Chain A
Amino acid sequence: MAVRRFFYVTQDSLVVWIAVGQTVSEETRFPSSDEGYGLFSSYLERVPHKRTLMVVDVIEEEFSTDSLPAVSGSDRKNLMERRLKKRFSRTPYRVGVYLGKRRRASDSFNAVYTAITNHELVDPWVEIITRHKTPLVGITSIPLISVDLLKEFRKPAENSMLVTQHQGGRLRLVFIKSGQAVSARLSRDLSSEGDGFGAALISEIVQSRKYLQRSRQIGANDPLDVYFIADEQAVSSAFDESQANFEAHIIDFREAAKQLRITGESTPGNMEALYLSRCIRKRPRLEYVLRDRVDYSMLLRARNLAIGAATAGAVAFSVAAGIYLTGAFVFRNQTQTIDAQIAQMEETYRREHDEFEPLRADSHEMKLAVDTGDYILRNSLPIEWVMSQVGLVMGGQPDMHIDRLSWELESATDPNETNTTRRRNDKDMPVNIPQAAAVTANLSGEIRPYDGNLRQAFEKIDTLASSLQQNTAFERVAVAEYPIDARPGAALSGEVRRKDDNQLASFSLTLTLRIEDEIE
């Protein structure tokens, strides 16, 4: 989460800067006095929970280089921590930076320690911030940000110095060695110099170089690249006339502001905005470690995380609950619909059933009983059928007298199976219903009166058979017996008397109707 508020602490004030897009805007200013502290406290009371970065820009910030033995890991960390504490024991605002090997062939390693030596400049503000539980993400300083700022515009040389104008006419001079700030100065106010600003500027740089040489941070003949972020036209003439032993690089403040996407008007006399804008884009690499205080920034982050997680969880639960409830209501509606259908079906079922009370027979049983009855009827012959069929013909044959008429319904199945008479040893064996295949009728009688004319008798019998064949449903009518058996193969005998009034001409017919097909 980007920092959107800055507390810019100077020797005599704290300025609140608010991030507006990629740039910053000065919101309010509190003097370093009891009244200022009170006003600052009131301000924080109104807007306490805003992530804030404190940027310190004071004279009392010291740098100290150190040579470390070849140790690494936690040993080096502990060693640096001890030496840092030893060198800056009176201030909590201190930090150590490991720089690496001093020289390629060397066994010693470099470190630089930085501290705000006059912590009383910062403490009152930090106390108020802590009291209001304002989430302070870190405390840094202008020299610590300088390296990051310079890298935005130029690649720093081995020995570089970034010079910017601060707090009106003051110059901030930060010496950067091997990409790390190792010394910093804040000059006197040069705004009163007027036309001599250029010369004063050169003078300040020269003084700084001398100081660096005295403190053996740079050799007398070592090159020094000085980077100015200023009005190019105003300072270029000063450098043209200078014979100083450094190389000047002028970065026009307008170009710098443009590169950092700072909107609004910028002035070379107030470069704080440049540093703070850099902090909006990227958190400074180096910050002072604030010890023995509650880290409300971390707590705010944790709290926001917890609140976010709780809110997200609540939303997720709510959505899931909504989905479940929707599903449940859909199920409920469908269940109600089904319930209504079931009730309707049960009612219909009951009504349908009631219609057939008090019959207890199952519908399948009914069908079986009816089908059985139909089967029996299909395989039956009406009692009057044979008599009525014969009667159709016999009415026209007055001299043909029937003495015996018999008929039988023949079965197509095995006679043993169709035997419907109980046999001795099959008392409990069920029998079959005989399947009708044909009806056979036997008709026997005599011709009366009969005059002894056998030929005529034969003719009458044949006529009767033919008539039965044509006029009845019998499909086959055969003469079984004539008055005499005149077939060549048969034995024939008779007696002729002179007077015989009791001559008989008997006959017999067999009538057959196959009803198997009709039944099927």
Chain B
Amino acid sequence: MKSNRFDWTYLSNGFFLPGVSLLIAGIVFGASAWYHGTQARTYELFSANREAISEDYDELVYRRRLLDRYHRRYRELQDLGFVGRERRLDWVETIRAAAKSLDLPNVAYSLEPQLEVIRPVESASPNAEIQIYLSRLELELGLVHEVDLLRFFIRLEQEAPGLMKVDKCSLTRQPGAAQKRAADTNISANCSMIMYSVITSDISFAAVEPGL
């Protein structure tokens, strides 16, 4: 059966509901696709953030372990004066105070200019920057008794800021010491020692004491 006529009304009749359904479904589909894309991008972003934070957290855990392990020692070294700027004034005062309190007949000291030191150990982090310095100190002491030398260095270790290392020392009994008075120099001592200091970030940021 052939026809050359067309009835749009008939054709469209009954198509309204499916058409509207198709339109709504299409809109819902588009919206859901957009929402899906948005959520997927958000998820990827958060995943990447989590990865980054997770890495940071792992780094933090590692640092925490380092801190747990080194913090106390670091504080001790900081209290000792090893971590911090070299405080020569304190040294001189300590030497003078020790000599006075031990009633040493004479103490001569000689401090050489500070030198920068090559780091003896390497760090896993390239950002870890510290500066290590040393200053050589030559001491000439007149002692009444050799025990005074030990007492003197104990005082230095306790009160002078910095990590101290004595690498050379000689004690010489003075001729005729037995006939001298108890307060005279019986023994002369010549010692060479090195004072170490370390500058870390928190030292760099700290204010410099006036005159130093």
Contact = CB atoms under 8 A, between A and B. Distances in A.
Contacts of A321: 25, 28-29, 31-33
B36 A365 contact: no
Interface stretch (A211-219, A369-377, A471-479): A369-377
B123 A368 contact: yes
A316 B18 CA distance: 13
Contacts of B209: none
Nearest to B6: A294
Interface string B41-81: 01100110110011011001011101101110110010000
B18 A420 contact: no
Interface string A403-431: 11111110000000000111000001011
A361 interface: yes
Interface residues of A, number: 100
A470 interface: no
A366 B25 contact: no
B29 A318 contact: yes
Interface in B20-38: 21-22, 24-26, 28-29, 31-33, 35-36, 38
A422 B134 contact: no
Interface stretch (A24-32, A55-63, A131-139, A161-169): A131-139
Interface string B132-159: 1010100000000010011001100100
B84 to A, nearest CB: 10
Contacts of A291: 2-4
B177 to A, nearest CB: 9
Interface in A365-390: 365-377, 379-381, 383-384, 386-387
Q: Tell which of B13, B69, B128 has the most Cβ of chain A within 10 Å.
A: B128
Interface stretch (B87-95, B98-106, B193-201): B193-201
Interface stretch (A186-194, A239-247, A303-311): A303-311
Contact of B25 (A313, A374, A401): A313
B74 A372 contact: no
Nearest to A302: B11
* Most chain B beta carbons < 10 A, residue from A293, A346, A358, A359: A359
B179 interface: no
B205 A406 contact: no
A440 B141 CA distance: 21
Interface stretch (A110-118, A225-233, A326-334): A326-334
Given A328-B39, A403-B173, A409-B167, A356 B71 contact: yes
Contacts of B83: 361, 369
A372 B119 contact: yes
Most buried by A among B54, B134, B167: B167
B1 A406 contact: no
B115 interface: yes
A284 B82 CA distance: 111
B124 interface: yes
B116 A138 contact: no
A293 B167 CA distance: 122
Given A307-B15, A310-B19, A349-B56, A403 B201 contact: no
A360 interface: yes
A338 B201 contact: no
B3 A363 contact: no
B50 A341 contact: yes
A433 interface: yes
Given A295-B2, A331-B43, A406-B169, A360 B201 contact: yes
B70 A407 contact: no
B198 A420 contact: no
A290 B5 CA distance: 11
B205 A360 contact: yes
B77 A370 contact: yes
A184 B145 CA distance: 156
Contacts of A369: 70, 74, 77, 82-83, 130, 198, 200
A407 B67 contact: no
B5 A306 contact: no
Contact of B121 (A133, A320, A372): A372
Nearest to A359: B202
A303 B15 contact: yes
B11 A303 contact: yes
Contacts of A43: none
B53 A342 contact: yes
A136 B200 contact: no
A239 B142 CA distance: 164
A298 interface: yes
Contacts of B13: 303
A431 B116 contact: yes
A409 B172 CA distance: 18
Contacts of B70: 363, 366-367, 369-370
A345 interface: yes
A331 B35 CA distance: 10
A138 B2 CA distance: 9
Given A324-B29, A324-B33, A387 B118 contact: no
Interface string B159-195: 0000101111111110000000000000000000010
B37 to A, nearest CB: 8
A75 interface: no
B169 A306 contact: no
Given A373-B196, A409-B167, 20 more contacts: A295-B5, A307-B14, A313-B26, A321-B33, A322-B32, A328-B40, A331-B42, A338-B46, A339-B46, A345-B54, A349-B60, A359-B202, A361-B203, A368-B119, A370-B70, A370-B77, A404-B170, A405-B170, A433-B196, A434-B167
Interface of B: 1-7, 10-15, 18-19, 21-22, 24-26, 28-29, 31-33, 35-36, 38-40, 42-43, 46-47, 49-50, 53-54, 56-57, 60, 62-64, 66-67, 69-71, 73-74, 77, 82-83, 112-113, 115-121, 123-125, 127-130, 132, 134, 136, 146, 149-150, 153-154, 157, 163, 165-173, 194, 196, 198, 200-203, 205
18 contacts: A133-B10, A294-B5, A298-B3, A310-B18, A314-B21, A315-B25, A317-B22, A335-B43, A335-B46, A345-B50, A353-B60, A358-B202, A364-B128, A368-B128, A369-B77, A372-B130, A406-B169, A431-B118
Interface of A: 133, 136-139, 287-300, 302-303, 306-307, 310-311, 313-318, 320-322, 324-325, 327-329, 331-332, 334-335, 338-339, 341-342, 345-346, 348-349, 352-353, 356, 358-377, 379-381, 383-384, 386-387, 401-409, 420-422, 428, 430-435
